[in-house]
Chain A
């Protein structure tokens, strides 16, 4: 039987506020345990929450970013359950009236098409603390520094059919929230955490199968792997005539499997009810408009603009808008040299390869947009062949100066002088009479192949500095006799 995979994603996004959602404790990481957990975060008796304006603003920015309805009235609720990292015994969340309602988020796919994902809702809530299981004999240590970190939980409809779509969504989401500046979106550090609801059904069936929820999937790569192993697990069960148990499962990257979470076995009854310590949050149209005015250009708009204004291909444009810094780099370099396509090719080719090798981001790139534009100018005015350009690029990367400096230092100017080139070509033709004869006897197809030999010889003779295009033209004339 052919199975269709049906998935919906829930993303918990930590918002990059200075302080926590309900207290004035600092919202950053890496500190000693419990030093950033104040009396409110610890749920001490008598303590009360006060809502952080910036968290609300960030949630509205996200809603506007995906064109969703903004909850002009939203209400916080208590989600009740006992767990040691949940200090009050309830999580303050939004269940009945979330701050962001339904919207559609267009995801660029690698083939250049757009995949629309329906966002069900996004709501504000507080993060829980962390449990440390291995540091104490027979006991678990509780660190509540993270408790009270503002989270935006973003829930999609079950619109995903492939892991590729899910990953594309997460990448687009990452890109959106970093453009907005509302989160660093770092999956490895838990700033963006993904739960995957996943079920299988026979192709053509309308109703959904029983789903499982996979937690703890903290990288794009793990999302693909977790989906693959869970799909396989469910398919095996279904094909053996078994039933899927609705449960929460944990992705174990080490063993590449998902396993049932024992701690979540007891069916929870969260007993949501409106949080009486907080009042309804009212956001008027004027405030929404004000926030809208502050939004930066978002990835989808930027991508369209790059396609239209710079004539870039869909795929290149999508790659360049992946981060705001990358897109800004592109636009700066393109404006300086007036060669957007060459800039895109370099950025997605040599530059990105070099960044990968050095394992750094565009923000740390030693080649500035000015330097790259300088290099590209020398390519477009034929001073440098592409081969030489690569050497010069390497020099710029290593801090040896601008493209012009390096060309000067190394005498790397491309030879585009017809007289000089003709001399070299004549010499090569004279040295290789056999090959010349062979060429002249061959048909067009073969000739093309054979001409490569001569070009190679000439480039060698010129130490790579001959203008390859001119060499080609002149050579063909001369070989034709």
Chain B
């Protein structure tokens, strides 16, 4: 299956990526070739096969409801691009 340039642009938008106009053809072409590869999946009959999300049939362990973390704001925010008064800052968001 192949994709169009506009498909790729739309997917990029969903993934919050931008593709430069001059790269779009190339990206679309490679994208289509990968899709051709993954389309080999369609050769395998899978009716009634339970999808497998994890390699082992293990189940979730539960954590007891205890507070184990202390305030680490200072340490965690040392790697933040922009912080003021303890807040992470981003360009103004309009609701």
Contacts and interface: CB of A to CB of B under 8 A. Distances in A.
State yes or no: do A and B touch (Cβ within 8 Å).
yes
Contact of B87 (A34, A263, A274, A282): A34
Interface in B40-79: 53-54, 58-69, 71-73, 76-77
Contact of A281 (B16, B59, B68): B59
Given A34-B73, A44-B76, A84-B93, A141 B60 contact: no
B76 A42 contact: yes
A220 to B, nearest CB: 23
Contacts of A44: 76
B85 interface: yes
Contacts of A36: 71
A459 B68 CA distance: 68
Given A84-B88, A135-B87, A141-B88, A54 B67 contact: no
Interface string A23-41: 1111100001111111100
A262 interface: yes
B14 interface: yes
B18 to A, nearest CB: 14
A39 B87 CA distance: 15
B23 interface: no
Contacts of B71: 35-36
Contact of A278 (B60, B89, B92, B95): B60
B17 to A, nearest CB: 11
A19 B91 contact: no
Contact of B60 (A42, A135, A271, A280): A280
Interface stretch (A45-53, A231-239, A309-317): A45-53
Nearest to A56: B62
Interface residues of B, number: 33
Given A44-B76, A133-B93, A276-B54, A141 B85 contact: yes
B63 A262 contact: no
Nearest to A274: B53
Contacts of A136: 84, 87, 89
Given A53-B63, A282-B59, A34 B88 contact: yes
Nearest to A273: B53
B64 to A, nearest CB: 6
B38 interface: no
Contacts of B69: 19, 23-26, 38
Interface in A139-162: 139-144
Specify which of B59, B71, B87 lies most central, judged by the most chain A CB atoms within 10 Å of its CB.
B87
Contacts of B37: none
A260 to B, nearest CB: 10
Interface in A266-291: 269, 271, 274, 276, 278-282
Interface string A41-84: 01010000011111110000000000000000001000000101
B92 A138 contact: yes
B88 A19 contact: no
A56 B67 CA distance: 17
Specify which of B54, B88, B90 lies most central, judged by the most chain A CB atoms within 10 Å of its CB.
B88
A297 B19 CA distance: 60
B54 A52 contact: no
A139 to B, nearest CB: 5
Contacts of B73: 32, 34-35, 37
Nearest to A77: B53
B61 A50 contact: yes
A232 to B, nearest CB: 23
Interface of B: 14, 16, 53-54, 58-69, 71-73, 76-77, 84-95
For the complex of A and B, the 5 pairs showing the least CB-CB separation, nearest first, are A24-B68, A141-B87, A54-B65, A53-B62, A38-B69
14 contacts: A34-B73, A34-B87, A34-B88, A36-B71, A38-B72, A53-B65, A84-B90, A84-B93, A140-B93, A141-B84, A144-B88, A279-B54, A279-B58, A279-B61
